[in-house]
Amino acid sequence: MQGQPHIQTGARVAPPAVSAAARRFGVLPMPNLAWTPEVARETAHLYEKVKQIIPPVEWPFHAPYVKAINALKKERNAVILAHNYQTPEIYNCVADVVGDSLQLAKLAAKSDADIIIQGGVHFMAETSKLLNPDKTVLIPDSRAGCSLAESITGADVRALRQRYPGVPVVAYVNTSADVKAEVDICCTSSNAVKVVESLGADTVIFLPDRFLAANVARQTKVKIIAWRGACEVHERFTADELKRYRADDPSITILAHPECPPEVVDVSDFAGSTAAMIDYVKAKKPRRVLMVTECSMADNVATETQGVEFVRPCNLCPHMKRITLPKILDSLVYLKEEVTIEPGLAARARRSVQRMIDLV
Ligand code: 13P
Ligand code: SF4
């Protein structure tokens, strides 16, 4: 039978993987993504918001996705929560809610949408799922990780508890649900000192960011035992590079995220969460600002603050940048990628997040 194609009878072809969410809500047809005069007209008001950041030649690539995503969000009763590090076209044109980790966690708790799409990294999507166990939470790319969250496991926390019996454990929200399930309370960069002091202990284990831990330790009498993790974006900034900017322009305003090393914070005029940095610029309107944080922050603040000049010695967070408009559209059409957490573990992790939310 030489030359005959080999046909394997009875062979089973695996059906395409359909997620539980897709079975619940159904898959929709992919919308037409052509750049047409109608798309240009319907998205013109959104381009106005980003025209200082996105050149006109790029808008035809974004606009069909922006239109399709905004239409499908309504059809699906979905909401997009976007962290301040998301790209300007996501932050300004499709997000329903933007903010720092604490704001997103609080708003996730209040959402009445059927579907939450997380514009951010995986631990943020897990936090949304913890606070919305009955809702469908999707992350457009589940590989969007975080060097802090990846630096520690639940088993590491159990080992710390054995080594320091009776010492309470505070976890930065940049941790997995597995870790949150083992700790006493969570914190974010905007409430870390308050959370540490709320425990009424002389000594507290603070994980996983050694630089945030060091910055907190300088603001409290509580003794801090730190884990050795670091943010791969913020650990790269150096005090020397900031001093050079300051020498070139002594009146420049330097804002740093507290995930930066303490010596970088020392050279800055202000250190705070991403939302606190945005509030600072909006309130004080400095002439020239240096944002010591992820690149998209300056772009996003610039769209909201005319007349402020931004200097961008920025580092990209490769995890945040995995989230794109095409992947958000895929999430809405195919309901992927669904975030699930084992219910027993989720109940323990939720307690740590909720305890923080109740405190602040
Ligand atoms: P914020 O809570 O300040 O937004 O920080 C989250 C984060 O991942 C910063 O790198
Ligand atoms: Fe994690 Fe740093 Fe990226 Fe924030 S910027 S998500 S802390 S790696």
Predicted pLDDT of residue 3 = 39
The residue ranges of DSSP E strands in the chain, in sequence order, are: 78-83, 97-99, 115-119, 136-138, 169-172, 185-187, 203-207, 223-226, 253-256, 270-271, 288-292, 309-311
- CA 121 to ligand 2 centroid distance, Å: 8
DSSP character at residue 322: G
Closest protein CA for atom 6 of ligand 1: 101
Quick one: which atom of ligand 1 is closest to the CA of 83?
4
* Lookup result for tokens 């496991």: 153
**DSSP state string for 148-173:** TGGG--HHHHHHHHHHSTT--EEEES
* Lookup result for tokens 């604490």: 102
Assess whether the C-beta atom of 350 lies below 6 angstroms from ligand 2: no
Closest protein CA for atom 4 of ligand 1: 100
Closest CA to 34 of 21, 43, 47, 25: 43
Of the listed ranges 17-21, 143-147, 222-226, 229-233, the least confidently predicted one is: 17-21
CB-based contact 80:324 (threshold 8 Å): no
Q: Is the pTM of this model over 0.85?
A: yes
Assess whether the C-beta atom of 100 lies below 6 angstroms from ligand 1: yes
Q: What is the mean pLDDT of residues 140-159?
A: 98
In tens, the pLDDT along 7-38 reads 344 444 454 467 789 999 999 999 999 999 99
- CA 276 to ligand 2 centroid distance, Å: 17
- CA 319 to ligand 2 centroid distance, Å: 7
In tens, the pLDDT along 39-51 reads 999 999 999 999 9
Closest protein CA for atom 1 of ligand 2: 146
Q: What is the mean pLDDT of residues 109-120?
A: 92
Q: What is the mean pLDDT of residues 288-310?
A: 92
Read off φ and ψ for residue 358, nearest 5 degrees: -65, -25
- pLDDT category of residue 6 using cuts at 50, 70 and 90: very low
- CA 40 to ligand 2 centroid distance, Å: 34
pLDDT at 324 over 70: yes
Query: Distance between CA 123 and CA 127 in Å, rounded?
Result: 6
Predicted pLDDT of residue 17 = 62
CB-based contact 360:196 (threshold 8 Å): no
Q: What is the mean pLDDT of residues 143-158?
A: 98
Predicted pLDDT of residue 306 = 86
Assess whether the C-beta atom of 273 lies below 6 angstroms from ligand 1: yes
Assess whether the C-beta atom of 259 lies below 6 angstroms from ligand 1: yes
- CA 333 to ligand 2 centroid distance, Å: 28
DSSP character at residue 56: T
* Lookup result for tokens 């809702």: 135
Q: Which ligand is nearest to the CA of 317?
A: 2
- CA 41 to ligand 2 centroid distance, Å: 36
Predicted pLDDT of residue 8 = 40
Pocket test for ligand 1, best of 124, 126, 273, 353 (most atoms within 8 A of CB): 273
Predicted pLDDT of residue 111 = 81
Predicted pLDDT of residue 312 = 82
Please determine, looking at this structure, whether the domain spanning 20-144+320-334 carries the CATH number 1.10.287.990.
no
Give SS3 for 96.
coil
Q: What is the mean pLDDT of residues 81-97?
A: 97
222 token code pair: 């509580």
Query: Would you state the CATH architecture of domain 234-311?
Result: 3-Layer(aba) Sandwich (3.40)
Q: What is the 3-state secondary structure (H, E, C) of 255-280?
A: EECCCCCHHHHHCCCEECCHHHHHHH
Q: Where are the domains of the chain?
A: 20-144+320-334, 149-231, 234-311
Query: Distance between CA 149 and CA 323 in Å, rounded?
Result: 18
pLDDT at 251 over 90: yes
Predicted pLDDT of residue 5 = 38
Assess whether the C-beta atom of 46 lies below 6 angstroms from ligand 2: no
Cis peptide before 75 (omega within 30 of 0): no
In tens, the pLDDT along 177-217 reads 999 999 999 999 999 999 999 999 999 999 999 999 999 99
Q: What is the mean pLDDT of residues 285-302?
A: 94
Predicted pLDDT of residue 135 = 93
Q: What is the mean pLDDT of residues 253-257?
A: 97
**Which amino acid is present at 250?**
P
pLDDT at 358 over 60: yes
| Summary mean pLDDT of the chain | 93
Assess whether the C-beta atom of 103 lies below 6 angstroms from ligand 1: no
Q: What is the mean pLDDT of residues 86-91?
A: 97
For residue 143, give every residue at least 6 positions away whose Cβ sits within 8 Å of its Cβ, in sequence order, or none.
319, 322
Cis peptide before 208 (omega within 30 of 0): yes
Please determine, looking at this structure, whether the domain spanning 149-231 carries the CATH number 3.10.450.50.
no
- pLDDT category of residue 105 using cuts at 50, 70 and 90: confident
Query: Distance between CA 47 and CA 93 in Å, rounded?
Result: 8
Q: How far is CA 19 from the centre of its chain?
A: 24
Pocket test for ligand 2, best of 173, 174, 188 (most atoms within 8 A of CB): 174
Of the listed ranges 13-17, 62-66, 237-241, 255-259, the least confidently predicted one is: 13-17
76 token code pair: 């699906």
Angle at which helix 122-131 crosses helix 343-359, to 10 degrees, equals 90
pLDDT at 233 over 70: yes
